[in-house]
Chains A and B, each alone.
Chain A
Amino acid sequence: MTPLLDIQNLSVDFATRDGTVHALENVSFQLARGETMGLVGESGSGKSVSAYAVMRLLGGSARVRADRMISGGVDLLTATDAEVAALRGKRMTMIFQNARSALNPIRPIGQQIADVLRVHRAMPRRAAKQAAIAALAEVRIPDPERRYHAYPFELSGGMCQRVMIALAFASEPELLIADEPTTGLDVTTQAVIMDLIREKSSQRRMSTILITHDLTLAAEYCDRFAVMHAGHVVEQGTTADIFERAAHPYTGLLMKATPHGASNLSDLAAIPGSLPDLRRDLPPCRFVHRCAHSAPACAAALPRVPLEPSHEVSCHMPWKVSA
C-alpha cells in the first residue's frame, strides 16, 4: 500500500549571518494511513524543522532538497504555493506548540473554527457555526455555546490547546502533525487530549506525527518511532523495536534520561556532551563526539543498517547500547 507521507533524503539548510546551518540531512521516513509516528529527540535535533518542511512552512532562508517528498499523492517538491495552500489546513494540519500564541488573539475561538469549516469545507455560515460548537464540545470544552464567543485570553492554557485541536480536526485532515501538543499541560488534561487524537486516528484513519521529547508519553500512543539527533534520523522502528531492542546508542541514552520507571535519581543519566554546532563541517555521524562506543569505522560514511523490515539504524556499531 502506498504510504500517505513519503519523505526520502530530505535535507534543509538555513542561510544565516553566522554561516549555513545544516539543520536536516538525509531524513527519510514514511507514514502509513492511520498510523501514529513519534518523532523524538532533544531540542534542536530537527523535529520541528522536519514538520515545517512537510507543511512547506519554512521561510525564505531555508534551502530544502529531497529525493522524494509526497503527501497524499501530492509532490511537495514541485507543487505550486497555491497547490500546497489548498492542501495545508485541509488535508494536512498542524497543532502548534504554544496554543495561545498560535490562535488569533482578536477573533473569538468559535469563529476561528467556523472560518476553517467555511473555507475548507464550503459550509454556509450558520451550519459552520453549529459545526464549530459541536467541534468545541467534542474536545470537551464545557459550555461550548457560550465559549464560541470567547477570546483566547479568556481561556486557560489547556482550553486553548483543546481549541487548537478542534481547529486541526475541523477540516478532517488525513495528516496531523502535533508539535508537543501537551507540553506544560497537567497530566489529566494531557490524557484527555491524547485520547482524543488516538480516537480520531482510528475513526478517520488519520495519520499522525507526534513530536515530543517525552518518550513515556509517546510510547503509549505511537505505533512507530523516528529518533532524531542533530538533524539525522538515527533510528526508526516500531515501538517495540525502539523500547525493547534499541540499537542506536543515542536512543539508549535518551531512555536512560527519562524519569519514568526509575526508582532513584541516581538511576538516571544525562546524555553526555551537547549537540554539535550545525554550522560547522560535521562528521558523517553527528553523534560521534558524544558516543561511548565510537570507533575508527565511525569516520566512514554513515550507513543505514536494516535490522528488521521495520527497524533501521544509522550506526556502524548497532546494539551497543549501554546497559
Chain B
Amino acid sequence: MSDPLLELDALQKIYPTGSGQLHAVDGVSLTLNRGESLGLVGESGCGKSTLVRVLARLIDPSAGAIRIDGQSIGDIPARRFGTHPQRKRIQVVFQDPTDSLNPQFRIFDSIADPLRRLGGRKTRTEVSDAVYEAARITRLPPELLMRYPHQLSGGQKARVGIARAIILRPDVLILDEPTSALDVSVQVVILQLLGELRETLGMSYLFVSHDLNVVKLVCDRVAVMYLGKIIECAPVDQIFARPAHPYTRALLSAIPGARDTARIRLDGEPRSPIDPAPNVCRFYGRCPMGQDLCAQKAPPLTNIGAHSAACHFRLDTRQEVLA
C-alpha cells in the first residue's frame, strides 16, 4: 500500500530565540499514505506539536515542502490558508477537549463552525442537517447539541472535538493526543470510534501520542521523533518487535508492563535544540551505545525495506541483538 496522500519534504521550523536558532522541526521527511494511520511518538519537547501546527498550517514552515495529493500547500501563508480550498482537507482533533472548545459556544455552533467558515454557502437547514449527521456518526446524543461545553463529560467533549473535525469530511485527520485526558474506559470507546470512522469515512490519520500501548493498537506505521528529527519509521509490528534505533528501544523498554525487556535508563536531558551541531547525532551523549563516530557524523535516515532508521549502529542489523 503506497499511495501517498500527504508528503512532507525536508520540513523545517526554526524559531529565533535570544540565545540562538531553535530547531523545533529539523528536516522532517515523512509520507502519510491514503487510508493509513501513522503514529508519531516522542518525548515532550521533541517537536511533535510544532510539526502538527505546521501541518495544520497554523504556522509557516521555515523551509521544506508539504504536499497533499501532489499539490504544494507549504508555501501558502498561514494567514491565507484559513480560507484556502485545501484547508478543509486537513483537520485537527486537539489534545484537551476542554481547552479546545469555546466555552461560550453551544455544542451545535462548535460543530457547525468549520462548515460555516469553509463549507461554502449553506442554508440553515443544510448546516443543521450536517451537524446532526456529524453528531450521529460520532454517537453524540443530539440533546447535547444545545448545551455548553461545561455541561458535558470528558468523553462527550472528546466526541464533539471529533464531530467538528469530520464535519467537512477531511482526507487527513491529525489527532494530537486525543485520549490522554480521558479515563481508561472512555479511552477505549473513543479509540474504537476513531477506528470505525477511519473505515467508514475513508480518512488517513496522523496519530500523535506518547502512549505507545495505544499507538500499537491504532496505527499501521510509527514514526519516532527525537529533537526535531525523525529517527526511526517502520510498520508498527516491526518497530515493537525489532526497534532499530537505540532511542526507540529505550522508549519501548520504558512502557509500563514491558517486563520481558530490561529497562534501559536514559541518563541526562536531551541535547539543546538551540543551534544543534549539524555533525553530531542528536541522541549522542544520552545514547547508551554512542561512539566517536556519532560525534563526527550525524547518521542519515536509511532504509532497510520499509524500515528506516537514523543510526550508525542499527540494532536490527546486529547479530547479537537479534539473537
A-side residues, CB < 8 A to B, are: 42-43, 140, 142, 156-158, 184-192, 195, 213-217, 219-220, 253-254, 257-266, 268-271, 274
Contact = CB atoms under 8 A, between A and B. Distances in A.
Nearest to B46: A186
B143 to A, nearest CB: 16
B184 A257 contact: yes
**Is the contact region of chain A dominated by helix, strand, or loop, or is it mixed?**
loop
Interface in B150-195: 153-154, 180, 183-189, 191-192, 195
Interface in B179-236: 180, 183-189, 191-192, 195, 210-214, 216-218
B278 interface: no
Contact of A186 (B186, B195, B210, B259): B210
B266 interface: yes
Contacts of B267: 140
A220 B213 contact: no
B73 interface: no
Contacts of A214: 184, 256
Contact of A191 (B187, B213, B263): B263
Interface of B: 43-45, 153-154, 180, 183-189, 191-192, 195, 210-214, 216-218, 250-251, 254-257, 259, 263, 265-269
Contacts of B256: 187, 190-191, 214, 216-217, 219-220, 260
A219 B153 CA distance: 28
B69 to A, nearest CB: 28
A142 B267 CA distance: 10
B45 A268 contact: no
A266 B217 CA distance: 9
A186 B154 CA distance: 22
Given A158-B44, A188-B254, A257-B188, A213 B183 contact: yes
A274 B216 CA distance: 27
B301 to A, nearest CB: 22
Contacts of B185: 42, 253-254, 257, 270-271
A187 B255 contact: yes
B43 A189 contact: yes
Contacts of B250: 188
B7 to A, nearest CB: 27
A220 B183 contact: no
B37 to A, nearest CB: 11
Given A43-B183, A262-B217, A187 B251 contact: yes
A213 B182 CA distance: 10
B132 to A, nearest CB: 24
A191 B254 contact: yes
A54 B210 CA distance: 33
A259 to B, nearest CB: 4
Contacts of A188: 43, 250-251, 254, 266
Nearest to A253: B185
Given A259-B217, A271-B185, 18 more contacts: A42-B184, A43-B154, A43-B183, A186-B210, A187-B210, A188-B251, A190-B256, A191-B256, A191-B265, A213-B183, A216-B257, A219-B256, A220-B259, A257-B187, A260-B257, A261-B257, A264-B217, A265-B218
Nearest to B217: A265
A268 B180 contact: no
Contacts of A157: 44
B268 A192 contact: no
Nearest to A41: B183
Given A217-B256, A257-B184, A260-B257, A270 B268 contact: no
